[in-house]
Amino acid sequence: MTDIDHLIRAIDPAPHAPEQGPGARELRAAILAAEPEPHRPSRLPGLFGRFGRARGTVLLAAATAVAAAVAIGVGLPAAGPATEYANAAVSIKKAPDHFSVTITDPAADRRSFEEAFREVGLNVTVKVVPVAPQDVGKLLGPVVPEGFRWHGSIGVQYVAPCASAFCGKVWMPADFPGRVVLGVGRPAKPGEPYADDTLYDKSGEECLNGYQARGKTVGAVRAEVRRHGLKSAHRLLWTLPDDSFFDAAVPADRVKDDWTVNGCRAISSDTIDIYVNPGPGAGPAPDPLTVRRPEWYDDTTS
């Protein structure tokens, strides 16, 4: 009998008994895996001295890990990342084809969110970003800045009803080796630009309650925006030969009052983007790559 057999029996007296919980069996396995071969010297004498001291460290770490797992309801796997993790900001549960995410504190520090994703095996950068009031607490993304080239797909699906700030499913291959960026929406400050991960809908969006901007002239919509006590910004909506499209910000004097509005979108608490179909004299479409706006997921943003 080794000097830890009594401890193993105390933790798991019958390793295969059905009433024995998984935490005890896994702790037993961790202890056995940590027991060294007799008389084999440590390869890290400066850190542990000899294996006997290392064994005590592993026992303490394994016991602490099981206690922490029980405290937050995490199923501790024999190896690899956890299948569930929770802290004060978010809880994540891994399913065969997605991750269930519940955000409880959207104002938490981003490191709390990154910690949770890391514990379930994902390389995720989280940005807490300003959003419109209806999007506070929601998850933005996921975005792969370098481009997603892997099996499967990525995306987010909201789940309702939800008793927290956000409940949803994140589709992401668990073995994806690249970096993924997610955003958590926080209330924007007055005048602070909103982060948004949705493309403008060319079929027309509306942003002024009780007023349809689509089809009206720029001059008429500008006047309505002022009537609401808001400011106007302008984006020309360019259509490419393959029927794809992009938009580009332009100064107000570049847009004529008689050009036609496609739609509008609120970009902060005090400013409306007016999307305009280019009219006579607008000139050729610019190169889309030269007019790309900074996005919330860029490394240069906070």
Tell whether 201 is covered by a domain. no
Where is the domain boundary, 187, 209, 228?
187
Say whether both 225 and 279 belong to one domain.
yes
Q: What is the pLDDT of residues 120-153, one digit of tens each?
A: 998 899 999 999 999 998 999 999 988 888 888 8
How much is the pLDDT for 79? Answer: 54
- pLDDT for the residue numbered 14: 36
In a domain, 301, yes or no: no
Q: Tell me: pLDDT of 59 over 50.
A: no
* Cβ neighbour number for residue 164 with a 10 Å cutoff: 14
pLDDT for res 20: 39
Q: Write down the pLDDT at residue 292.
A: 82
DSSP structure string for 91-106: EEEE-SS-EEEEES-T
| Averaged pLDDT score across all residues of the chain | 77
Q: Which of 187, 207, 231 is a domain's end point? A: 187
The residue-averaged pLDDT of 150-172 equals 91
Both 14 and 68 in a single domain?
yes
- According to the model, what pLDDT value does residue 37 have? 33
Residue 101 has pLDDT above 70, yes or no: yes
- Clarify whether residues 172 and 120 are in a common domain: yes
Residue 198 lies in a domain: no
Give the Cα separation of 32 and 163 in Å (integer): 43
Q: How far apart are CA 4 and CA 51, in angstroms?
A: 14
- The number of domains in the chain is 3
Query: Do residues 149 and 224 both lie within one domain?
Result: no
274 CB neighbour count, 10 Å cutoff: 24
Q: Average of pLDDT values for 264-281?
A: 97
pLDDT higher than 90, residue 54: no
Say if 300 falls within a structural domain.
Answer: no
Rank 108-112, 179-183, 262-266 by mean pLDDT and report only the highest: 262-266
Residue 284 lies in domain: 218-290
Q: 233 in a domain, yes or no?
A: yes
- Residue 97 pLDDT > 70: yes
Secondary structure class of 237 (helix, strand, coil): strand
> What local confidence, expressed as pLDDT, does residue 29 receive?
43
CB distance 265 to 199 below 8 Å: no
Q: Is 60 exposed, middle or buried (0-12, 13-18, 19+ CB in 10 A)?
A: exposed
Residue 180 lies inside a defined structural domain of this protein? yes
Same domain, 257 and 163: no
Domain boundary among 16, 48, 72: 72
Q: At 300, is the pLDDT very low, low, confident or very high (cuts 50, 70, 90)?
A: low
